[in-house]
């Protein structure tokens, strides 16, 4: 099985992007039971460059699953994104290349795509492990949603039978423990959460191919 896992580099006033740190930790330590070829990538927080890179990777690898991560520093749980919209509207917030987008379509395509990850199964697994998790119907209209939509669009264009989706993670907060509530989540908890997500994806793929 081939999996593509991506995160983003820091942007705006964010000195550390938790999605980047999680992906780097997964790359170092994840040891799945099944034979897996894992490709990891840290995308630039730039509309054009990030879209080009994620599309090129999907074309090159032809993965069985694409899991994109991004940070949402106002959230305090692992957010399983359900929908990607064909819309860029970052307001006055530029990307790292200085590109400001206000009310424009990403491509000439459907208005929205739904995640094809096994979200319900992922949610049950994370809850069972005591990890804060919730569904989200709003991936924003900044670079995270742009990559989410672009990845699903590329999978569709290539007619790949691949799972594809996006998860928003909170910022890193080492003051929070498994039992004490505060903003953000500890890095170890989030790495464990994404490892669990990957295991569910692997299991789902195995069942699908039987």
Enumerate domains of the chain plus CATH numbers: 2-208 (3.40.630.20)
Distant-in-sequence, close-in-space partners of 203: CB < 8 Å, separation ≥ 6: none
Q: What is the pLDDT of residue 177?
A: 52
Q: What is the pLDDT of residue 182?
A: 56
Q: What is the pLDDT of residue 176?
A: 56
Distant-in-sequence, close-in-space partners of 25: CB < 8 Å, separation ≥ 6: 187, 191
The segments of the chain whose pLDDT lies below 50 read 180
Q: What is the largest CA-CA distance in the chain?
A: 49
Enzyme catalytic residues: 81, 144, 168
Q: What is the pLDDT of residue 210?
A: 62
Q: What is the pLDDT of residue 137?
A: 97
Measuring CA to CA, which residue among 9, 22, 13, 4 is closest to residue 170? 22
Measuring CA to CA, which residue among 200, 192, 76 is closest to residue 132? 76
Q: What is the pLDDT of residue 136?
A: 98
């Amino acid at each position: 099985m081939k999996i593509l896992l991506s995160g983003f580099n820091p942007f705006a006033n964010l000195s550390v992007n938790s999605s980047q740190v999680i992906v780097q930790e997964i790359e170092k330590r994840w040891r799945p039971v099944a034979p897996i070829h894992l490709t990891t990538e840290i995308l630039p927080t730039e509309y054009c460059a990030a879209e080009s890179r994620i599309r090129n990777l999907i074309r090159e690898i032809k993965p069985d699953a694409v899991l994109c991560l991004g940070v949402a520093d106002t959230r305090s749980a692992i957010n399983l994104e359900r929908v990607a919209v064909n819309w860029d509207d970052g307001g006055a917030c530029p990307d790292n290349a200085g590109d400001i987008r206000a009310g424009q379509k990403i491509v000439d395509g459907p208005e929205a795509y739904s995640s094809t990850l096994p979200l319900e199964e992922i949610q049950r697994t994370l809850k069972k492990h005591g990890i804060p998790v919730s569904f989200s119907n709003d991936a924003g209209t900044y670079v995270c949603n742009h990559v989410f939509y672009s990845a699903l669009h590329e999978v569709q264009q290539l007619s790949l039978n691949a799972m594809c989706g996006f998860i928003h993670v909170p910022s890193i907060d080492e003051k929070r423990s498994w039992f004490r509530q505060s903003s953000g989540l500890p890095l170890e908890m989030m790495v464990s959460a994404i490892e669990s997500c990957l295991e569910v994806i692997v299991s789902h793929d195995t069942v699908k191919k039987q």
